[in-house]
Amino acid sequence: MKNFKKYVALGMTAVMMAGNSLSVFAAGTDTLPDSGEVKTGEGEGTDIYVDKDVYKIECPTDAALAKIFDYTVDPQGLIAATEAVQFGGATIEGEGLFFANKDATDPTKVVKLSNWSDPLTLVNKGAVPVDLACEAQLTAVTTDPYAGTFSTTEDFSGNSDKTAGLYYGIYASQDIEYSFSTTKKEFSNIILSGADGYEVKYDKDATPAYSYAAKSDYKDWPEYNFYVHATLNPDVAETTWATRKEDGSLDKVLKAPTIGVKFTPTAIKGAKEATVLIEDTDFYVSKANVEGGFGTTKPTAITVNGKTISSIKDNVEGYVHFTWEDVYKAYGFTKEEDIPDADALYGAIKAVKVTADGVVYYGEVK
């Protein structure tokens, strides 16, 4: 503030000095009478405004989405025994359950079989961030369904997981991995804004003259990825996977459930820009180009990566304030020791949304 006052004072001095030697020119002059005539200066207001709430999310086609999480259950190791000839001799990582990972440049070619799916990728080519409501769920087939249960741990280490036959987890950008089953798992997050890829232009011959559009050569659009991670327990009974006839011959091979991953995007429009500052385990949110700016009135809502901060603290010198503890509790952890990879989760903090005095403010951690 002191520097700002000095800057203003210096500027005023310069204007005063210049005022002694400058003349004001007008288009023409009138000689006013001694009294009685009223003169009025007028000026037309010119409104310039562009729509910066550009929403554009790209995702795979419906046909691609219908097959994106296909997988093979192989409790007997048949794929490895035949050197993955079914998949063109692809490299095998893991065992028991496989997603066919495709070549990035040739999606018809399988290069690897693993417990991880290829990603379902959303690309934000718009200028606004996007709220995502996400869910993952298994659907059992109606005829000859898989006969086992589902684990909540990928290594089947939980007390109730040791007899489960399959584990399914959903992992997405800026998030942790959640187990899911025929019971729906819901979570939320945010796709980061693509505003850096947009620019304002002026063309005097256009109507309107100002425009806001994507840069022609911009390539660094934010991506959001969903992966499915699945594993198989080799220690469960054969009846989990197949049935036999009375004479002991193979009867039916039971069918694994279908994976469903759904997402509902909602553009965050009209949000004011905010700045996020981090000091170790403390996070501070300021209005853009203002030190703090929120005064002493606490916000009514704070979300981090779409997760709701449940306990809102007092502002600190005008800054909205929350802590690392607030963040990991928003992710469902009671204490830091419960987090499988605390460093990864800390590094995943990217998007903060604050509602204060009825106004939404949004900032990103770069």
Instruction: Give the pLDDT confidence of 98-144 residue by residue, as tens digits.
Output: 999 999 899 889 999 999 999 999 999 999 999 999 999 999 999 99
Domain that holds residue 313: 272-364
Final residue before a domain boundary, out of 221, 246, 267: 267
Q: Is residue 9 assigned to a domain?
A: no
d(CA 356, CA 337): 33
Shared domain for 277 and 262, answered yes or no, is: no
Residue ending a domain, choose from 212, 247, 267? 267
Helix, strand or coil, per DSSP, at residue 335: coil
Residue 14 — pLDDT band, cuts 50, 70, 90?
A: very low
Distance of alpha carbon 352 from alpha carbon 341, whole angstroms: 21
- Domain annotation covers residue 342: yes
Strand partners for 211: 201
- Give the confidence band of 27 by pLDDT, cuts at 50, 70, 90: low
Give the pLDDT confidence of 322-335 residue by residue, as tens digits: 999 999 999 999 99
Q: What is the mean pLDDT of the chain?
A: 92
Q: What is the pLDDT of residue 39?
A: 87
CA quadruple 175, 177, 179, 180: dihedral, nearest 10: 50
* Residue 195 pLDDT greater than 70, yes or no: yes
Shared-domain flag, residues 124 and 261: yes
Number of compact structural domains in the chain: 2
pLDDT, tens digit, 9 for 90 and up, residues 162-171 = 999 999 999 9
How far, in Å, CA of 366 to CA of 350, rounded?
7
Q: Which of 32-41, 73-82, 258-267, 310-319 has the lowest mean pLDDT?
A: 32-41
pLDDT digits (tens, 9 = 90+) for 253-268: 999 999 999 999 999 9
On whether both 205 and 317 belong to a single domain, the answer is no
Mean pLDDT of 10-34: 58
Domain for residue 356, yes or no?
yes
Give the pair of three-digit tokens for residue 335.
């204490």
Residue 104 in any domain: the answer is no
Looking at the fold, whether 163 and 302 belong to one and the same domain comes out as no
Of 206, 238, 267, which residue is a domain's last?
A: 267
In the block, residue with structure tokens 């693509």 = 194
Q: What is the rounded CA–CA span in Å between residue 267 and residue 128? A: 7
Q: Is residue 8 over pLDDT 80?
A: no
Task: Return the residue matching tokens 């759904």.
Answer: 262
- Give me the residue label for tokens 């203002």: 290
Lowest mean pLDDT among 40-44, 71-75, 143-147, 182-186: 40-44
Clarify whether residues 253 and 281 are in a common domain: no
- Asked if 252 and 293 sit in the same domain, the reply is no
Distance CA(62)–CA(270), nearest Å, equals 30
Mean pLDDT of the region 232-248: 96
Residue 51 lies in a domain: no
Asked if residue 247 is part of any domain, the answer here is yes
Domain shared by 311 and 245, yes or no: no
CA dist., res. 234 & res. 321, Å (int): 48
Residue 194 has which token pair?
Answer: 């693509």
Q: How far apart are CA 251 and CA 274, in angstroms?
A: 63
User: Whose CA is closest to 169, among 116, 234, 114, 119?
Assistant: 116
